[in-house]
Every structure is written in structure tokens, then in C-alpha cells.
Homo-oligomer: A and B are copies of this chain.
Amino acid sequence: MPERKRLTLKDLAAEINVHYSTVSRVMNPATRHLVAEDVAARVLALADERGFRPNRIAAGLRTQRSGLVGVVLPDIANPVFPPILAGIEAVLCQQGYVPIVVNAGTDKARQRYVIDQLLGRQVEGLVLATAERDDPVLEYCVAQRIPVVMVNRGEDTGRASCVVSDSLLAMRLTVDHLVGLGHRQIGHIAGPSTLSTGFLRREGFVRAVRRHRLRAGQWQVIEAASYSREAGREACERLLAEFPGMTAIAAGNDLIAMGCYDCLRARGLRCPDDISVIGHNDMPFVDALSPPLTTVRIAVHQMGEEAAKLLLSKLSQPDAKAVTVELTPELIVRGSTAAPPAA
């Protein structure tokens, strides 16, 4: 089984007695018009017959454009990211780019290491899903002058574009729904305040609750150690202890809401009969939980698409200033929220 060498421009050119630069012009649609039609046709026919694929790495070296974009995720196994990734990939591919996806965890030093790898591979830009509110890694990217956009989580300083879901609105929808059902004792389990989502949802919760003129003893906020089911469960325990009159919980995300389910079940409390729970994200299959989770749906796929578009436009206009794209979330009412128990 002879290891068949890959074809090159020269190979093709030799077969039909043209210079390889002519073949190059033909293979690139943008320069094809520079060569005579009949020659172009012959080249194309041969390329097709031989299954010739120009070496994009070589082209990239020459043109200084790799066509590669790095996507840095904290954890691909988190169900929010796959649809975001699909959105990113869809628009990138359309423009001839391809994403290199890396799981970089939450450790900033490791993230930076991973980004260095990516830069060594000449990625033209980066999509960061790992941003914290004040992120040294973003700082680093900016210093390197590598085009960056943040997705899902934003950053405070406006140093780079980002696309996020509107957290303030989301929490307004959440609290309106709960208050509308009659709740007057509402708890919020916030995500980590180092993350924009954790911070802003908390902020949104507080504003919404004040808007409804709830007073000090009528609402309470507690922070979960992370966006995870386990941390949600643990935070729910604390919240229950600190705020015994509570009839509804606005969870920082669906994972935290699942932790609330776990906690309530363990304590023999029924949802929504004793306590209503509302999540955030509408991740896959939360409609199949028991009870089906009321939550706020964020436009994950679109979020990925927008992030990719933002990056693409940053690549073509490096000096345009940073923008924030805020997507509108939607309340999805299911079975985990109901009127509070009659007092």
C-alpha cells in the first residue's frame, strides 16, 4: 500500500503544461477571471478528476491568514455550550473559517497556556466563553492585540465585544411571574458574583423585587459556590435556613434549580405546592424533570452565531469599537411554579 503523496499545484501544472501559478489562479475563484476560459476549464477538469485540494496551510502561511479561530470553553460538558458552539461553527464555516475548540477549565493560568497554544497555531481571533467580570486572560488577549469576542459571559471594562443574554430583563420576567402568582417571600440563589451572569442576574433580581415594592424581609439573596447542581443544593439548604418563610426560589441557572429540587425532595418539601422554583437557561430536557422546570430561555444558538459574526467583523475592521449584543430572553412557564400555599 504505497503512501500516495498529496498532490500539489506543481503536479497538476506539469500534467497540462501550464505554469503552476496559473493553476493557482484557477483554483482561487477570486483570481480565476485572470486566466483564459479554456485553460481554466482544463485545469478545473483535471483538479476535479484528481481530487486536488489546495493546501490551505501553505496558502495561509503565504497570505498570513490561517482561517482558524480559537474557541475557549470552560467545560464542553456543560449543556449550554454545545448549542453555542454549533452557532459559532455554522457562521464561521460559511465564511471559510474553522474553529479550534478547547476545553480550558476555569483556571486562569491554564486558560492562558491554552491560548498560547492557539496563538502559536496562528488563530486569527478568539471566542472566549470563559470570561470573568475582571479577567486577566482578556487583559492578556488585548495586550497581544488578538481579536477577541466574549460569549455568554461579558466583562466589565468594555475592552472587547460580547454577546450575552439580557440578565436584567430575565430576572424581571422571573420576578414578575412569581409576584403575579402571589409570592411575597422570594429567594434568589445567585451564581458566582465573579461572573457577569451571576452578578447581573442578582442585580436584576434586586431591582425587580424593589420595583414590586417588596421590603427587606420579603426577599433574600444567597450566592452559590458555582453553577452546579451540587452547589445549588448546598445553597438551597442555607437559604431555607436563613429564610424560613420563603415560598419561591429564583435559581441562578437550571443546574442550580436542579440542586434545589434535590434539596427540597430530601427535606420532604413539594415543588411547586410548598415552594416554587424557577431556573435560567432552559437547557435541554428540563421540560422532562419532575416537575417540568419553569425557566428563562436564552437564545443559545443565536448567541453563538452573533459571537461569530462579531468576530468576523472585528477581523475585517480591527479598529471598530467594541459592542455588546444583548439577546432577549423568554420566560417558559412549566410546572415548577404555582401560587404559594395558602397561609
Contact = CB atoms under 8 A, between A and B. Distances in A.
Nearest to A319: B1
A132 B101 CA distance: 25
Interface in A303-337: 318-319
A284 interface: yes
A10 interface: no
Contacts of A4: 145
Q: Which of A60, A117, A288 has the most CB of B within 10 A?
A: A288
A86 to B, nearest CB: 5
Interface stretch (A34-42, A50-58, A164-172, A190-198): A50-58
Given A57-B66, A100-B100, A101-B99, A77 B284 contact: yes
Contact of A82 (B58, B76, B90, B93): B76
Contact size range, A: 35 or more
A145 B3 contact: yes
Contacts of A89: 76, 101-103
A145 B61 CA distance: 25
Work out how many copies of this chain go into the complex. 2
Interface string A95-130: 000111111000000000000110111100000000
B77 A122 contact: no
Contacts of A318: 3
Contacts of A81: 82
A85 interface: yes
Nearest to A144: B51
Contact of A120 (B1, B54, B85, B116): B54
A103 B290 CA distance: 32
Given A83-B77, A145-B1, A55 B122 contact: yes
A61 B57 contact: yes
A102 B51 CA distance: 21
A86 B77 CA distance: 8
B56 A258 contact: no
A341 to B, nearest CB: 21
A205 interface: no
A158 interface: no
Contacts of A56: 120-122
A57 B121 contact: yes
A269 interface: no
27 contacts: A1-B319, A3-B145, A3-B318, A4-B145, A53-B119, A55-B61, A56-B121, A57-B66, A67-B121, A76-B85, A77-B83, A77-B284, A79-B82, A79-B284, A81-B82, A85-B101, A89-B102, A89-B103, A93-B102, A93-B117, A98-B100, A98-B102, A98-B117, A101-B101, A262-B288, A288-B289, A290-B290
Given A81-B82, A290-B290, 5 more contacts: A53-B120, A57-B61, A93-B102, A93-B117, A285-B289
